[in-house]
Each structure stands twice: as structure tokens, then as C-alpha cells.
Structure 1
Amino acid sequence: MGAMVTSRAAAAGVTSMGIAVYDSQDRKVYEQMVGDFTPDTRVAIASSSKMVSGTVIFDVIRQGLLSLDSTTGQVLGWTGDKANITLRHLLSFTSGMEPSNPCTTRVGITLAECVAQIATVPMKAPPGTRFDYGSTHLQVAARMAEVVTNKTWNTLFTQTLATPLGLPSGVTYYTAPTQQLGTTNPLVAGGLRASMNEYAKLLALVYHRGRYAGLEKGTLALFALQTREPYPSVVVGNSPYGELGYPYRYGLTAWLECTTPATGCDSISTPGAFGFTPWLDRHANYYAILGMQLGGGDVSGGVVAFSVDLENDLKPLIETALGN
């Protein structure tokens, strides 16, 4: 495993990264750092934010304030063909909305203002018929959570996850996470900053289906649904994994790393554009994080291809090392 990480990093020109593997008892059973990267180096984790955002929303559902069937019409007052978009559509990126909107990168506005702009854009497809990976779905889902809790997204994240897990205030969502700018219009799908050690607590919570460190977040049923593709017959539009040649489909804020997505996957992941890649495998009894924050010019062959290929090639080696 160590040899693979070292050689892949060298071949791609990656000089700063790390890997950590945890067993089902939350013991760190393997750790390796390349260059000056450390497990406490806090970085912009990009789309690794998605699974964390999903956990926050799962807990709003646990409290009975939303359900997966709550609609934008009911909660946000949306009308017309957009009014039937459900939280399930939003968390699975099958809302039929355009997957990106310039408002998600605007620092000087609020999440409510951004979502009001998203609401004006014509639909791309009816809800539940098309998958498009992108940021707008979770921006809208987060706004629904803000409305029913009467809290801002970052307050909700802090109270639901960060404070109970003992994470410092720097672990928060930004509009522009690499520059640490903007917290009133946080990029819910990609704005979190965290170190490997900090993220490990968030990943442990997901691995244990919301039952970790004395906490109960979300419901067991929601974490089970997370591992399944809710609309298996969708047309696949924008799919970063598809572009890399992987057959993986998407559940609720997580990639499903198996060949049976309609019935559920033991292994799920949430890799980010800067290379940070967390995943878990409940069958093989471990969870792991590839930590890094790379720019496009840092890697020959592309950042996401580097981290995702490395993750997928490490998986059998980790299973063997753990004796599974």
C-alpha cells in the first residue's frame, strides 16, 4: 500500500498528500504522509463536503422538520414545474435543475438570495428523470433546511455536527473555500474546510450510520437509503465518475462504488475536485481518507483521476491488509 502511494504520487508529480485508514472500531490502522502534508493540515475539501451536508439534512429529517418527500413548493413556495422537486431529488442530484449557477460562487449574498436566483432558471428535465452532478441541488436542499429550522446553514452545521464532534470553528463552509471567503452564501456542495483528522470524525459518523461518539444523528433508514440509487432509470447527464470510465451511480450525497446501486452498496465515497477523497466500506469494515489540496497544475493527468484511481486501486490492498 505504501509503495503504491509513493510511486503514484511521484509519477503524477504530487508532492503533498496523505492517507489514513480506520478500522470499524475507529482505530487509525494506517497512516502515510507525502511531503509536508500532515493529518492536521486543514484544506478545502471541495465535493467531500457533500456527504457531510447530507448528514446535516438527515438530522433535520430525524427531527421531523423535513422528509425526503418534502417539496420546494411546500417549503420554499416554488411554483410551476419546479414545485414538485423533493428533497430526495435534491440529495440525489435528480432534481432536473441546471446543475450549476453563478450565484453559488458569489461571496456578498446570502444562501436565500442565491436560491432565489436558482429558482428563476428553466428546468432541464422533469424531477427524477435525469442525473446531473453539480452544486445547485444541495444549495436548494440547504435552503429548505434553513427555512424549517430558522437557522443559517453554518449555524446548523456547527450545532448538528461540528460542536458535538469537538471540531473547531475553522471547520466551516465558505463560498470560496480555498481563499476562506464568504460564509453567508456557503457552497453547500463544496465549501467545507477540514483536516484529515477532523474529517475522520465526520466520516466515522456516516460509517456508523449516525451512531458514533454517543451521538444519534439522522436515522438508520436514511443511512440505508443513502447507499441506494433512488431512480435507477435516470438519464445520466453530468457524471465525473462516468467521465473517468467508472460505472458508479449516485445515492443520497454519495457515490455508490458497486455494481448493484439499485439495491445498495457497502462502499460509498465523496471525492473532491482538489483530490481530497473519503470513502467507507462496511463490508470490509473500514473507512479511509486520501488527504490533499491540489491545483490543476499540480498533477499530470488530472486531479480527480489521480485521487479516484488511487482510491480504487488501494481498496483491494486495504482489504488484504485488514485480513478481509
Structure 2
Amino acid sequence: MNLRSRSLIVLTLAATSLAACGSPGPAEEPPLSEEAVAAVTENAGAPAKALAREVDDLFTMEGLGETRALIVMKDGKIAAERYGEDYDADTRFVSWSMAKTVTAMMIGQLVGDGLLRLDAPAPVPRWQRSGDPRADITLRHLLQMRSGLEHTEAGDPPYESGEVRMLFLDGRDDMADYATAQPPEAEPGAKFEYSSNTTVILADIAARTLTESSDPEARRRAVSDYLHARLFDQLGMDSMTLEFDRSGTLIGGSLMHATARDWAKLGELMRLKGSHRGEQLLPRSWVAEMVKPSPKSPHYGLQTWLNRPNGEPEHPLFPDRAPHSAFSMIGHMGQYVFVSPEQGLTVVRLGHSNAEERKAMLQQLADVVELYPAEGR
């Protein structure tokens, strides 16, 4: 190699080195706020800074709506907890449709007590008249949203929907009477149709199972006492507040109120297959039924959403980013109690996000979930 060639190589290497020194490199992430760092506990079970940043993004990123509360629990311990402005650990948050899963828990306890049967015709008196096709609707059909009744969850305009009419218009005083009066539009079990009216029918069945009285106060007391004695008090859920209609029927599809920590306790109960401190509050077999896919909807069990592919472009959860064994209680405007037994996780997100915001928010929630590897439980 002559001197000229050697000089060219040296100059090239020097230029490359200088260019590398002058390159901006990867952008540094902004420092975490004190609030973001404080949200993560010593029991994070994941890289603390990464968890703090993902949680912070749920509260601060544009386009996600408003996150009002977030709790991440790993193996039964709080890994992260944070609240939005004007909300705290004592705030009772409305369930919206997360209440449906709680209603299913109550039905499961009544089945476990031998008072109801899952595959028997639903004990609705008006359906037992001779020739009524609704007599073939089973409790399982109702729990899996396969009743075949003419129930419309959403309408345009909204006041035309069966849910709005039941909750706020002609059905509001006796919601179960309104819901059970609807005619069939399909064979029982033939199709999936999500419906808050269906869950009110389940709540009414529970009330009539627990008391023979038609007195509204007696019905309210029977259901409230049963749920508190058998579920809420056992879990230490002191905040849970239930709403009933004028006839004494639990509005079991949409109106329960509890703190974020108490919602997390219900998620943990499900994660542990109905067991709490060595006591089986829900039959283990019932929890298995709750998270078993419906034959007409692979992403729905018994009043519970499943993280399983449904063959559709949109999904209420994120089956591509978390184990298919995961499941969730889901409520209107972005209420979630997401449970992933394989990851030892219960994640509660409560807030207010419209339909478009929920899509983005769910992906951010998945970012939190993905910090925890599946452990094959």
C-alpha cells in the first residue's frame, strides 16, 4: 500500500469517527415527574421506571380520554396506584357494565347453593305460559347473552334503544317487567346479542330466589344482604353501593359504585378462581364457566369479556398483546378490571374515554400489561 492510499484510509476513518461523534443518537426520554415515580411501589414486579412511564402516559397522553384511577396488582400486591385530579382512593367510581360480572358472581353463588340450575329453563313466571317460546330460555342463555329476546343495547336516536327505555323511560320503575316482556326475535341460544336488559332479568331472578315477597324494600334487602354477607364483606369491600329500581330490582347491568381498590378486590377474586384467604367465596367451577367462551361469541363468557380472538377487526380487549386466558369486566366509557392469571395481574382502569379514545387507551393499557411476562399458570 503506498503512502497516498494509506493517507486516504486514515482521512476516511477520521471523517467517519467525527460524523459519529456529531450524530444526535437516540432521543433521551424526558425525566419522570415526582407524581409518576410516586405511583410505583416497591412491589412493582417490573422495571420501576418503565412502569412509572407507562402509567404516566395513561394519565397524560393526548387522545386517550381521561384516566381517573389506575391500579396495577402483581401477585396480590399493589405495584402501581395513581389517581387523576379531584379523585382519590376514597372516590366511589360507577361500574357501568362492570356490574354485569358482579351479577354473574351472585348467580353463581345461588347455583352453588343449589337454588338455581345453569341449564334449566330460567324461572321467569310470565314465560311459563303454555306455548310461550321463551320458556326454552335457560339461565346459561341469559348469562351468555343468547336469550334471543328483542333487546337493543344501542339505538339511533339513543332513546329508541331497549337499554335507554328500560333505564330512563317507560321501563324505569319496574325494569325486569319491561325486560321480560320483550318478544323473541331468534331461537334461544342461536345468537349473541349484548344486552343490559338481560342482566336485569338475572338480577330479578336472584331477588325472587332469595325472597317470596314482592315488596320492593324486602327485595332490596334480600339481595343487598346476600351480596354483602357472601361477597363484599368477605372481601372487605366497604365502599360498594348498589342501586335498585322502584320495584326493588338490582340494576345489575350498570349501576354499582365502589373505590378502585374495591374493584381490584373483585378482579383478584376472579384471578384466584373464587378463593379468598383460603375460603372459596365463588365455586371454582363457576369461575371456570365464567371465563369459558360462549359457542356464539368466543370473546364472551358468562357476563365476562374474554381476551380471545373473535375473527373481527375490532376487539374489546387486546388478544394480540396479552394471553388469551386473560379476561375483563368492562364498563361504558372505559371502565376495566383486566385480569391475567398467567401474568399474576389485575389491572383496574377507570375514567372517561369515547369510542375512538378507548382504542388508543387500550393499546396504552396493553403497554402496561406487556411489562409483565406470562408465567404459564
TM-score range, shorter chain: 0.7 to 0.9
Change (3 A) 1:185 1:315: same
Mapped partners of 2:64, 2:363: distance in 1: 19
Q: Would you say 1:76 and 2:128 are equivalent positions?
A: no
Mapped partners of 1:141, 1:229: distance in 2: 19
Correspondence for 2:109: 59
Shift of 1:21: 1.0
SS at match of 1:270: strand
Q: TM-score, normalized by length of structure 2? A: 0.68
- Within the candidate set 123, 126, 151, 2:184 is matched to 123
Shift of 1:217: 2.3
Q: Which runs of 5+ in 2 are unaligned?
A: 1-50, 152-161, 212-218, 312-322
Mapping of residues 34-183 of structure 1, within 5 Å: 34-72=84-122, 74=123, 76=125, 78-79=127-128, 80-99=132-151, 100-101=162-163, 102-105=165-168, 113-150=174-211, 152-168=222-238, 170-175=239-244
- Within the candidate set 346, 349, 352, 1:287 is matched to 346
Q: Would you say 1:19 and 2:19 are equivalent positions?
A: no
The one-letter code matched in structure 2 to 1:172 is T
Is contact 1:6–1:34 with CA below 8 Å preserved after alignment? no
Identity among equivalent positions (%) equals 21
Mapped partners of 2:303, 2:170: distance in 1: 24
> How many residues are paired up?
290
Shift of 1:132: 1.2
* Greater C-alpha radius of gyration: 2
Correspondence for 1:186: 250
Is contact 2:176–2:249 with CA below 8 Å preserved after alignment? no
Shift of 1:265: 4.4
**1:59-117 deviations in Å (ceiling 9; x for gaps):** 11111111211322x4535231111111111111111113335234469976xx43223
Q: Would you say 1:218 and 2:271 are equivalent positions?
A: no
- Within the candidate set 312, 326, 331, 1:267 is matched to 326
Is contact 2:58–2:365 with CA below 8 Å preserved after alignment? no
Shift of 1:315: 3.0
Mapped partners of 1:256, 1:17: distance in 2: 24
Mapped partners of 2:168, 2:64: distance in 1: 29
Change (3 A) 1:308 1:158: farther
Is contact 2:166–2:197 with CA below 8 Å preserved after alignment? no
SS at match of 2:268: helix
Correspondence for 1:253: 303
The one-letter code matched in structure 2 to 1:86 is T
Mapped partners of 1:76, 1:305: distance in 2: 42
Measured on the aligned residues, the alpha-carbon RMSD in Å equals: 2.9
